[in-house]
Amino acid sequence: MPFEDARDFSRKLKLRTTAEWKKYCKGMFLELPVKPDNIPSQPEQTYSRLGWINYKDWLGVGYRSFEDAKNFVINLGISNVKDWNKYCKGTLPGFDIKPKDIPRDPDLRYRKNWINWEDWLQGSTTRIYGEWQNFHDARKYVRELKIKNTKDWFKYCKNDLAGYDLKPNDIPTSPEVVYKDKGWINYADWLGTTNIRKRSDIEVWMSFSDARNFVHTLNLGSIDDWKKFINNELEIKRPKNMPKSPQFVYKELGWLNWRDWFGKV
What pLDDT digit, counting tens, does each position of 50-91 carry? 888 888 889 987 778 888 899 999 999 998 888 898 999 999
Indicate yes or no: pTM above 0.75. Answer: no
pLDDT tens digit sequence for 93-142: 999 999 888 888 887 777 777 777 878 988 766 555 556 788 888 999 99
Asked if residues 106 and 74 have their Cβ atoms less than 8 Å apart, the reply is no
User: Could you give the CA distance from residue 238 to residue 205 in angstroms, rounded to a whole number?
Assistant: 12
pLDDT tens per residue, range 208-250: 888 888 999 888 888 888 988 988 888 888 888 888 888 888 8
* H helix intervals, 106-231: 106-109, 117-122, 135-143, 150-157, 175-178, 187-191, 199-202, 208-216, 223-230
Please, which residues have CB within 8 angstroms of residue 41's CB and are 6 or more apart in sequence?
Answer: 22, 25, 35
**Are 102 and 73 in contact, with CB atoms under 8 Å apart?**
yes
Q: Phi-psi category of 163—alpha, beta or left, where left has phi over 0 and alpha has psi -120 to 50?
A: left
CA dihedral sign of residues 214, 217, 223, 224: negative
Q: Going by C-beta distance under 8 Å and a sequence separation of 6 or more, which residues neighbour residue 152? A: 161
Question: What is the per-residue pLDDT for 200?
Answer: 39
Domain residue limits, the chain: 3-59, 66-122, 135-200, 208-262
